Structure 1
Amino acid sequence: MFDYDAEVRLYREHFRGAWGVQPDDRVLDVGCGGGQTTRDAAEGAARVLGVDISEPMLEHARSQPLPNVSYLLADAATHDFEPESFDLAISRFGVMFFDDLVGAFGNIRRALRPEGRLVVLVWQSRTENEWAQVIPEAIGGSFRDDSPFALGDPAVTRDILTEAGYADPTFTAVRELLYYGPDSEAAYDNVLRLREPQALLADLEPAAADRAHASLRATLDAHDTGSGIQFESSAWIVSTQRA
C-alpha cells in the first residue's frame, strides 16, 4: 500500500493549524483514508467521524483506535448524514474526486450545523505541481486524469462552494515537497502504484514501455535530495462556512 501519509507529511501541520478545532466540536473527516487527519482532529475535538469509500484504508485506520473516533464506510457525496450534526468538516486531498462537486458539497453542508465550517486541502493546478508534470512526461504520453486538480482554480472552486450553500471561501496557498520514498528504488515502486502512471504505461508497446521505465528511473534519481525522493508541490487550504 502506498504510504500517502508519508507522501504529504509536510502539509500536516499547515492543515491542522487551519482547523481551529474546539473542545466541544463534532468533526466530519471526508475521505479520511488511513485516519491520520481523523486522529489529529480527535486530539482537540469531542467526537470525530472518519468517512471513506475504501474498506482496506478504514481497516488500517481502525487499527489505531481512539475513544472519541469512529469510522464509516460510505460515500460522503451521497450518504444520508444526520442533518446539522457536525461543527466542522475537513478533508485532506479527498474532495476533488466527486462526480458532482456541487451536489457533494451540498450534502456535506446539510450535515453541518448553522454556520458550521468547512476546511479542505486541495491541489492547485497541474502546472503548479512538479510531480504531476515530470512523472507523466518521463513515462511519455498525454495526461490522463485531471480530477486531482478539479478545485485548483479559486474562481471555479468559489463558484462551486457558493452554489452548494457556503459563504465566500478564503484560499491560503501552501508550497511543500512531496516525499516519494527514501531512495529511487522505493520511489519507483510507489509511483507504479499510482493511477495515472499505470494508465500511461498500459498503453505502451513493450519496447516503448522499457524506455519509459528507464526514463522514470532517471527522473526519480534526479530528484534525490539526500533526504529522499522529493518533488515540488502546491496546494490551497480552502476555508468557508455554511451560509
Structure 2
Amino acid sequence: MSESTAVRVDPSNERMLEAWNGDDGALWAKRAQRFNDGVAAYRDTFFSAADIQPVDRVLDVGCGAGETTRDAARRASRGSAYGVDLSGEMLAVARGLAERERLPNVSFEQADAQVHPFPEAGFDVVISRHGSMFFGTPLAAFANLARATRPGGRLVLLTWQPFRLNEWITTFRTIFAAGREVPTGDLALSDPRATEELLTSAGYADVRCTAVSKPMYFGEDVDDAAEFIVEQHGGRLRELDEAARAKAVETLRADLAEHQTGRGVVYDSAAWLIEARRP
C-alpha cells in the first residue's frame, strides 16, 4: 500500500482513499488488463468523442492503471497526458507500462482530483473512463476540473447508466445476495438531467449525455470468468456458510454458461457518454 498520509484528500473522499489505496486498488492493479478488456468495446466511442489533437494537453481523472492515459498520450503526440488517481498500486502499474511502451509525454500522480491544485486553464481536454463517479462532493470536484480546463476546452466522461439497465450488475448483485436483500442505489452521474445541472453549475456548458450500450467481457470461458467475478464481487459470500457459498457459485457458473459466446463470456451493459465544454 502507498503512504496515504502523503496524499492530500478532501475529508469527503477519505473512504475512497482507503479503498482505492488499499485492497480495492490492489485488486484492480493485479487485474488491470482484465478490467481494461471488460470495457474495451467502449474504447473507440470514448476517444472519438474526446477528439484529442496532437498538441493537446490531456488530464485523465481516475486513470487507474493508465490505459486511457497512455491512449491519450499516443494521440497527443506533441502534447501531453497526465493521469491522476488515488491508488498508489494502480499508478505503479501505469508508470511501468508507460515506461515499457516508451511514452515520453505521459506522467502520473497520486492525487484527489477534487482538491488537487491543477494549473488554471492547464488542459485542453479532461477525460475520465468510469473514474468520475466516486467524488464525495461532486460539485466541488467538477468546479476544480472546470478551473483546470482552458476556455473552449472539453470534458468527456464515460459513466454507468442506472444499475437496473446493466445486466451484469443486477445479475451478480442478485446471485451474491443469495436470497438476502439485494443492494440498491446507483453511482453518481447516472441521471442525465442531474448530471447536466451539476456540470453547468460547476462551470461547464453545452452538456450532452448520450446513451451507449456495449457488451462487457468477463472471461474466455466459464472457469475464467467465474474466478474473476468471485474475486471482484464475492465479498458478500464471506458472510454465508459453506453450503450457501457453494450454491451461489454454482448459480453464477450456470448464468455464465448462458452468456458464453464465441467472443467469451459477455453481458449487456449501458453507459452514458458525457460531453461538455468550458466556456
Same fold (TM over 0.5): yes
Task: Give the C-alpha shift of residue 145 in structure 1.
Answer: 6.5
Match of 1:126 in 2: 163
Q: Contact 1:136–1:200 (CA<8 Å) still a contact in 2?
A: no
Q: Contact 1:117–1:240 (CA<8 Å) still a contact in 2?
A: yes
Match of 2:149 in 1: 112
Moved over 4 A (4+): none
2:143 match: secondary structure: helix
Q: Deviations over 1:20-39 (max 9, x none)?
A: 11222100001111111111
Match of 2:201 in 1: 163
Q: Which protein has the bigger helix share?
A: 2
2:72 match: secondary structure: helix
Q: Contact 1:144–1:200 (CA<8 Å) still a contact in 2?
A: no
Give the TM-score taking structure 2 as reference length: 0.82
Q: Which runs of 5+ in 2 are unaligned?
A: 1-29
1:151 match: secondary structure: coil
Give the TM-score taking structure 1 as reference length: 0.93
Q: More relative contact order in 1 or in 2 (CA 8 Å, sep 6+)? A: 1
Aligned equivalent of 1:142, options 171, 176, 181 = 181
Q: Deviations over 1:54-105 (max 9, x none)?
A: 1121111112221111111111122111111111100001101111111111
Q: Contact 1:138–1:219 (CA<8 Å) still a contact in 2?
A: no
Aligned equivalent of 1:221, options 231, 247, 257 = 257
Instruction: Give 1:199-214 correspondences, 5 Å limit.
Output: 199-214=235-250
Q: Contact 2:222–2:257 (CA<8 Å) still a contact in 1?
A: yes
Match of 2:72 in 1: 41
Instruction: Give 1:35-74 correspondences, 5 Å limit.
Output: 35-45=66-76, 46-65=79-98, 66-74=103-111
1:48 match: secondary structure: strand
Matches of 1:93 and 1:84 in 2, distance apart?
23
Matches of 1:109 and 1:142 in 2, distance apart?
39
Match of 1:237 in 2: 273
Matches of 2:195 and 2:269 in 1, distance apart?
19
Percent identity over the alignment is 43
Q: Contact 2:61–2:132 (CA<8 Å) still a contact in 1?
A: yes
2:231 match: secondary structure: coil
Task: Give the C-alpha shift of residue 43 in structure 1.
Answer: 1.9
Note the aligned Cα RMSD (angstroms).
Answer: 1.5
Q: Which runs of 5+ in 1 are unaligned?
A: none
Q: Deviations over 1:194-223 (max 9, x none)?
A: 2xx334223323332221111111111211
Match of 1:151 in 2: 189
Cα gap change, 1:189 to 1:172, in 2 (>3 Å): same
Match of 2:15 in 1: none
